[in-house]
Amino acid sequence: MRLPLLQRNGRQPSRRGGGPWPHVLLAWPTLALTVLFLVPLGIVTALGFFRRIPAGFFEVGFVLDNYARALDAFHLERLWVSVTLALAATLITLLLAVPFTFLLTRRPRRSQVPYLVLVLASLSLSEVIVGFAWSLLLSRTSGISNLLVMAGLMEAPVAWSPGLWAVILAFVFVALPLAILSLYPTFSRLDQELPEAAGTMGAAPLVGFVTVVLPLVRRAVAATAALVFIFVLGAYVIPQTLGRPAHWTIPVHITDQAIMKNHLPLAASLAVVLLVVSSLIAVAIVLLGSGRLARAEPAGRAP
Amino acid sequence: MCFVGPSGCGKTTLLRIVAGLETPSEGQVYLGERDLTHVPVHRRDVGMVFQSYALFPHLSVAENVAYGLRIRGVPRRQRLERAQELLDLVKLPDVGAKRVSQLSGGMRQRVAMARALALDPALFLLDEPLSALDAKLREGMQVELRRLQRRVGVTTIIVTHDQEEAMTMADLVVVMGDNRVQQVGPPLEIYRRPVNRFVAGFVGSNNFLPARVVSAGEVEVAGVRAPLARDAARVAPGSSVTVAVRPENLRLRPRAPAGAALQGSVVFVRDLGRVVETRVRVHDLELIVSGHGGYAEGDGVWVELPDADLVALES
């Protein structure tokens, strides 16, 4: 009875997704997010072309000065610092998150819960709180080094902040729970017997992990890397509070231009440049993970 | 060798201990003279077929089979040749280039076996190898697996909950239940001479009769004296025991026969085509007799007890 109907409209009758209501419900958030993304992006992009009035604010116009300045030697060097810092933090985060999530998902379900709760609890802290908390913890006057001195492990308290490693440490701290959360579903779906099977064929645990587990979770790892990279690259409180001026990233300079120097057009053009660069790198990371950039490599390569 | 038992009896755990995937809380694992207890899985020289097959979805079929050789550093050409050899062995010569997801369940099962045999393991382990296949395929694979194992000539341990599978595929059956080994022996011995009620009930169907031991080799069942199987478990005269007897070892007679027999009436007839199962009520017992039938519900009959196949069970 259904067959002629099926052939006529060429679609399978489906119990789900019937009628316009699901579309109406789905359209709202999608539309809101799209509009609220595209409109400010348009404004910011346009703002980058406006003319700055040194004494006042800015006026509508079309000048290339701001974008030219956003791409001058100083800002390009800042961009380089920002990207390398974010990549380093992303790499360290993944080196911690991937083995952690793998080992966690090998545990029985019930014993995973406390770990997950504690790890994810730190997500409730904002970047601002994390930044200032670490600046206290790493300070000379009231930081962790005082505890180490009390324990007799150090001679005198030292200031670990501001500094490069303080920035990276805080980046990893905020990004780690995010990365674990993003990796968890793929890892917990991974058949526990696959690495075991590799073991019965002579693969030591690490070899099995590299030859069996990693290829299967590669996409999830790449997606997580892109997520963490964009998240870290956008942070500005952490580099500002925990870094020296040499570690100030583009977002710190955007804030500086927009709020301190009242130069909104330059801030806007810097933001657009950062957006373009971070999007390109994120796309590259995801492509790398999907194997599309590495197709030439034979699949059965010996380790 | 086959470990057989109901689910949750510890047979898979035992197999995983043998494979080195799990550490025993006590006891040792020996392969020949070699103590394997603390040898990690990747140095144990075992090939294993997992219940889910655990084929690697990111590799082709041939690469799956050749995985162990790749880990050993065998050159690509050699290991793909060996993979082809093994795929020929399991009668899947043309699937090497395919993805695992393109294969049917039965094909995956063979690929998993080929992969486990690729390294010529000292021990071939199979965990419920046929449980994911449908009934028809399973029967064919039982025979085929047995033939393959004979051809390769490798010591094999199979874990199954299916007693028929165990009987078909093993020289030695280990019946497990309640987290311990209940009986070890060749399939026919397990079938004919179960040592306790668990084994008698788990392997095939059985009638259980309360009895009293009259003398060595003779019991009294429902007021009738009958001989025990000669090599059955020894029990002291005077004690009460449970006696097991297979449905196919009982005979129905219209009149009292010369030997030991119990009088009763037919309460249900189940015609299975090849064999007819007749249920007979004798006092407060219900016996199952399988044979040619020819009786109807309500008929009065005599159930003739066999000369040599009554087995007294350990209590």
The more confident residue out of A219 and B309 is: A219
Q: Is residue B199 situated within a structural domain?
A: no
Over residues B65-88, the mean pLDDT reads 90
A267-271's contacts with Cβ under 8 Å and 24+ in sequence apart are A268/A44, A268/A45, A268/A47, A268/A48, A268/A50, A268/A66, A269/A47, A269/A48, A269/A66, A269/A67, A269/A69, A269/A70, A270/A70, A270/A75, A271/A44, A271/A48
Residue B56 has pLDDT above 80, yes or no: yes
B146 & B217 share domain: no
Residue A225 has pLDDT above 90, yes or no: yes
Q: What is the pLDDT of residue A288?
A: 85
Contact B43 A215 (CB under 8 A): no
Residue B57 has pLDDT above 80, yes or no: yes
Domain span including residue B131: 2-192
B156 & B299 share domain: no
Q: What is the pLDDT of residue B230?
A: 64
Residue at which a domain ends, from B159, B192, B225:
B192
Q: Is residue A127 situated within a structural domain?
A: yes
pTM (two decimals): 0.74
Mean per-residue pLDDT over chain B, rounded: 85
Q: What is the pLDDT of residue B133?
A: 78
Q: What is the pLDDT of residue B179?
A: 80
B48 closest CB neighbour out of A200, A204, A302: A200
Residue A294 has pLDDT above 70, yes or no: no
Comparing alpha-carbon positions, the chain B residue that sits nearest to A194 is B54
Residue A300 has pLDDT above 80, yes or no: no
Q: What confidence tier does B165 reach under pLDDT thresholds 50, 70, 90?
A: confident
B239 & B167 share domain: no
Count of CB atoms situated within 10 Å of the CB of A181: 17
Over residues A144-165, the mean pLDDT reads 83
The CATH code of the domain that includes B122 is 3.40.50.300
Q: Is residue B91 situated within a structural domain?
A: yes
Task: Name the helix (H) or strand (E) containing B87.
Answer: helix B76-89
A204 closest CB neighbour out of B21, B42, B75: B42
Q: Is residue B112 situated within a structural domain?
A: yes
A191 closest CB neighbour out of B52, B59, B76: B52
**In total, how many domains does chain A have?**
1
Residue A4 has pLDDT above 50, yes or no: no
Residue A301 has pLDDT above 80, yes or no: no
For chain A, what percent of residues have pLDDT higher than 70? 89
Mean per-residue pLDDT over chain A, rounded: 83
C-alpha to C-alpha distance for B270 and A156, rounded to whole angstroms: 91
The more confident residue out of A164 and B315 is: A164
B113 & B153 share domain: yes
- Give the closest-approach CA distance of B309 to chain A in angstroms: 44
Q: What confidence tier does A230 reach under pLDDT thresholds 50, 70, 90?
A: very high
B128 & B167 share domain: yes
Residue at which a domain ends, from B192, B221, B242:
B192
* CB-CB neighbors (< 8 A) of A200 in chain B: 19, 21, 41-42, 44, 46-48, 116, 125
Residue at which a domain ends, from B140, B170, B192:
B192
Over residues A162-172, the mean pLDDT reads 89
Over residues A232-246, the mean pLDDT reads 87
Residue A228 has pLDDT above 90, yes or no: yes
Nearest to B71 by CA among B92, B97, B38, B41: B41
Contact A191 B56 (CB under 8 A): no
B133 & B244 share domain: no
What is the bridge-based pairing of β-strands B155-160 and B2-4?
A: parallel
Residue A221 has pLDDT above 90, yes or no: yes
Report the complex ipTM. Answer: 0.75
Q: Is residue B283 situated within a structural domain?
A: yes
B54 closest CB neighbour out of A191, A205, A303: A191
DSSP character at residue B306: P
B226 & B304 share domain: yes
Over residues B20-27, the mean pLDDT reads 84
Q: Is the peptide bond before A162 cis (omega within 30 degrees of 0)?
A: yes
For chain B, what percent of residues have pLDDT higher than 90? 6
B47 & B168 share domain: yes
Q: Is residue A34 situated within a structural domain?
A: no
| Phi and psi angles of residue B262, each rounded to the nearest 5 degrees, phi first | -115, 140
Residues in chain B, overall count: 315
- Give the closest-approach CA distance of B127 to chain A in angstroms: 12
The CATH code of the domain that includes B237 is 2.40.50.140
Residues B84-112 pLDDT 10s: 988 988 888 888 888 988 888 888 988 99
Contact B119 A302 (CB under 8 A): no
Over residues B63-69, the mean pLDDT reads 91
Contact A201 B67 (CB under 8 A): yes
Q: Is residue A297 situated within a structural domain?
A: no
Residues B257-266 pLDDT 10s: 888 888 888 8
Q: What is the pLDDT of residue A184?
A: 94
Helix axes B135-152, B76-89, angle to 10 degrees: 120
Q: What confidence tier does A303 reach under pLDDT thresholds 50, 70, 90?
A: very low
3-state secondary structure (DSSP) of residue B104: coil
Residues B177-222 pLDDT 10s: 888 888 899 988 888 888 888 888 888 888 888 888 887 777 888 7
- Give the closest-approach CA distance of A208 to chain B in angstroms: 9
Q: Is residue A180 situated within a structural domain?
A: yes
* CB-CB neighbors (< 8 A) of A216 in chain B: 56-58
B164 & B303 share domain: no
Residue A10 has pLDDT above 50, yes or no: no
Q: Is residue A172 situated within a structural domain?
A: yes
B8 & B137 share domain: yes
Comparing alpha-carbon positions, the chain B residue that sits nearest to A298 is B76
Residues A183-201 pLDDT 10s: 999 999 988 889 999 998 9
Q: In sequence order, what DSSP letters do the residues of B143-201 get, joined into one string?
A: HHHHHHHHHHT-EEEEEES-HHHHHHH-SSEEEEETTEEEEEE-HHHHHH--SBHHHHH
What is the bridge-based pairing of β-strands B261-271 and B224-227?
A: unpaired
- The least confident of A13-17, B110-114, B138-142 is A13-17
- Give the closest-approach CA distance of A106 to chain B in angstroms: 13
Q: What confidence tier does A224 reach under pLDDT thresholds 50, 70, 90?
A: very high
Q: Is residue B286 situated within a structural domain?
A: yes
B215 & B110 share domain: no
Helix axes A264-290, A73-106, angle to 10 degrees: 40
Mutant choice from A189, A200, A213, A216 vs B, greatest count of B C-beta within 10 A: A200
Q: Is residue B56 situated within a structural domain?
A: yes
Over residues A4-26, the mean pLDDT reads 62
**In total, how many domains does chain B have?**
2
The A-side interface with B (CB below 8 A) comprises: 191, 193-194, 196-205, 207-208, 211-212, 215-216, 298-300, 302-303
Residue B254 has pLDDT above 90, yes or no: no
Task: Name the helix (H) or strand (E) containing A193.
Answer: helix A193-200
Q: What is the pLDDT of residue A6?
A: 42
B90 & B18 share domain: yes
B63 closest CB neighbour out of A203, A204, A299: A299
Residue A2 has pLDDT above 50, yes or no: no
C-alpha to C-alpha distance for B30 and A221, rounded to whole angstroms: 41
Tokens coding B142: 């039982």
Q: What is the pLDDT of residue B145?
A: 84
* CB-CB neighbors (< 8 A) of B70 in chain A: 211, 300, 302-303
Contact B40 A199 (CB under 8 A): yes
Q: Is residue A43 situated within a structural domain?
A: no
C-alpha to C-alpha distance for B222 and B72, rounded to whole angstroms: 67
The CATH code of the domain that includes A232 is 1.10.3720.10
Q: Is residue A31 situated within a structural domain?
A: no
